Amino acid sequence: MTKEAMRTLLADSTAPRDPRGRGDHYRSHLVDAHRTIEILQLRIKELEQERDKIKQAREYELSLCVTRTTAEDERLAAFRLARGKAAMLAEGPDGIPTGMSHAIDCIPDPKPKWSK
């Protein structure tokens, strides 16, 4: 409130006395105000575009992330696949289990690394 009163007082005190000059004076202030508004609106648009780009980048980065439970499940699945392949390679001819393939099958699953 006080700032607006000061601006009004300043504009009124610098206005010429004759009505025509006074009208021109206030019109010049309006033109300056409109220019300032246009500049601010452009800046707001730029900031909104920048904000949208940052949001998109954040959403993309989040899409590359996985949860701990998903990572743990995939880690366990990879271990089981590797253990199964190793046991298959250790089997005898025609897929007959051997002592080594049985020992590989008996290897326990790893303990959780990222979850409890």
Domain that includes residue 59, residue range: 2-63
pTM for the model stands at 0.49
Half-sphere exposure of 21 (CA within 13 A, CB side): 6
Q: Are 10 and 58 found together in one domain?
A: yes
Side-chain-side CA neighbours of 95 within 13 Å: the count stands at 2
What does the pLDDT look like over 6-55, one tens digit per residue?
A: 666 666 666 666 666 666 667 777 888 888 999 999 999 999 999 999 99
Domain count, the chain: 2
Is 34 among the domain residues?
yes
pLDDT digits (tens, 9 = 90+) for 56-69: 999 999 888 888 88
